[in-house]
Amino acid sequence: MINPQYLSHPYDVRLAVEAVKSTIKIFKTNALSAVFTGMEFVGASEDPPFIRDGPEQEEKNHEKAKLSGGFYTNGIELTDAGIEKWLREKGHGLGYHGMGTCRMGAAGDPLRVVDSGGRVVGVMGLRVADTSVIPVVMK
């Protein structure tokens, strides 16, 4: 059995909650608020899991956005506790992308997987260009 122990450490919980809050903050910016009227949290209500295109759904989403001060969510309380509850019940593993799984290190570091340029040690012409080399979530 593979058990990644999602949300088993308080730091993991804090990072996951902050990631959801940051996503909402980004969607509420002037640049994106015209495109995104809200977020559907999978499993949080009977609403469809994704915002659907089409005039009927678009009108429904805009109405929800108006009622919620410009941005709606479907059945999730946007507090740290509410977000954590959703993550624990429905959200864990959704959209998860591991990070910090490939150690970046200086020459001579026996534990490094990649060098400071993302080049995989011992493999010619291969680079890692994703968050697996980032040790801490950036804000």
Residue 2: alpha-carbon gap to chain centroid: 22
CA distance 93 to 79: 20
Q: Which pLDDT score, from 0 to 100, does residue 49 have? A: 41
The per-residue pLDDT for 5 is 80
From first to last of its 139 residues, the chain has per-residue pLDDT tens of 667 788 889 998 999 899 888 988 888 888 887 777 777 676 555 444 444 444 555 566 556 555 555 566 776 788 899 889 888 887 655 555 567 788 888 889 998 999 988 899 999 999 988 888 877 665 5
At 66, phi and psi to the nearest 5?
Answer: -60, -45
Residue 76 has what pLDDT? 77
